[in-house]
């Protein structure tokens, strides 16, 4: 099939809070010969329900949704039987956003407005287990990763965290509850919960108190600490 290779027809889920964009894209992709079915969801909560029902092969996921980040969906998708590949589809070309998404489990990044044939090629790449980055994002992402490598001679678990995960961790170090973390970072309570669970898994700790103690031991500063008081970003 065009773009994805082989005879398998792919099932897609488009997740975007811009309904018109999501529906127009879904209708356009549905006309591709290699596409079996395209469904749409307009929030992360709706996407969780639709993904369980539709069992897509690939999820096209916006990074910035109203009040939440698309990466908050990825951990839930990974818990599904035969988890779908997640291809971020965003207007952003900010390297930190790309790195955050890849660190959260996405396997590709495409910039909105790209041609459908390019998008289908990206879908084919992630279906085959390969990472796809839109060409204009590759250089800035590599440069950002090289900067991280050069500025941290003594790695800690903090080095493996995305920028959003580090923000959540710094909120916890500041003594915030999960509800307060969600409010401070303008994300949903479910997204905050997912980030905390991922942090616990990454550190091997079994409670938020132990996680905070571990973070403080490696110099993670509270979210409102002045510059220079400790690690304040993962870059």
How do residues 168-204 score in pLDDT, each as one tens digit?
999 999 999 999 999 999 999 999 999 999 999 888 8
Of all residues in the chain, the percent with pLDDT exceeding 70 is: 90
Q: What is the dihedral of CA 169, 196, 79, 66, to 10 degrees?
A: -80
Extended strands (E) in the chain: 10-15, 35-41, 58-61, 64-65, 68-69, 85-90, 108-111, 132-133
Question: How do residues 93-115 score in pLDDT, each as one tens digit?
Answer: 888 889 989 988 999 999 999 99
Phi then psi dihedrals of residue 43, to 5 deg? -155, 165
- Look at residues 205, 229, 228, 215 and name the one whose alpha carbon lies nearest to residue 169: 215
Phi, psi for 169 (deg, rounded to 5) = -60, -40
Could you tell me which CATH number the domain at 10-139 has?
Answer: 3.40.50.2300
Residue 4 confidence class, pLDDT cut points 50, 70, 90? low
Q: Which CATH topology does 154-217 take?
A: Arc Repressor Mutant, subunit A (1.10.10)
Q: Are the CB atoms for 222 and 174 separated by under 8 Å?
A: yes
Q: Tens digit of pLDDT for each residue in 37-93?
A: 999 999 999 999 999 999 999 999 999 998 888 999 999 999 998 999 999 999 988
Query: Which token pair is 115?
Result: 């041609």
CB contact at 8 A, 58 and 10: yes
The per-residue pLDDT for 234 is 41
Q: Which residue, chain included where needed, has tokens 């600490």?
A: 225
CA dist 116 and 224 (Å) reads 43
pLDDT at 126 over 70: yes
Enumerate the domain spans of the chain.
Answer: 10-139, 154-217
- Please answer whether residues 108 and 132 qualify as being in contact, where contact means their C-beta atoms are separated by less than 8 angstroms: yes
DSSP letter (8 states) at residue 160 = G
Residue 152 has a pLDDT of 54
């Amino acid at each position: 099939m065009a773009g994805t290779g082989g005879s398998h027809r792919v099932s897609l889920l488009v997740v975007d809070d811009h309904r018109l964009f999501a529906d127009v894209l879904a209708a356009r992709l549905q006309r591709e010969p290699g596409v079996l079915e395209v469904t749409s969801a307009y929030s992360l909560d709706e996407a969780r329900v639709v993904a369980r029902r539709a069992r897509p092969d690939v999820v096209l996921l916006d990074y910035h949704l109203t009040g939440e980040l698309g990466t908050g969906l990825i951990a839930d998708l990974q818990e599904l039987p035969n988890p779908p590949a997640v291809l971020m589809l965003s207007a952003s070309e900010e390297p930190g956003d790309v790195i955050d998404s890849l660190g959260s489990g996405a396997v590709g990044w495409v910039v909105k407005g790209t041609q459908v044939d390019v998008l289908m090629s990206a879908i084919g790449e992630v279906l085959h287990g390969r990472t796809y980055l839109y060409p204009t994002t590759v250089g800035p992402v590599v440069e950002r990763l090289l900067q991280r490598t050069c500025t941290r001679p003594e790695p800690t678990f903090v080095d493996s965290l995305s920028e959003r995960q580090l923000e959540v961790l710094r909120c916890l170090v500041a003594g915030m509850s999960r509800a307060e973390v969600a409010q401070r970072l303008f994300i949903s309570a479910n997204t905050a919960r997912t980030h905390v669970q991922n942090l616990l898994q990454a550190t091997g700790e079994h409670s938020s108190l132990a996680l905070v103690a571990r973070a403080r031991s490696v110099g993670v500063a509270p979210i409102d600490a002045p510059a220079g008081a400790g690690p304040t970003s993962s870059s």
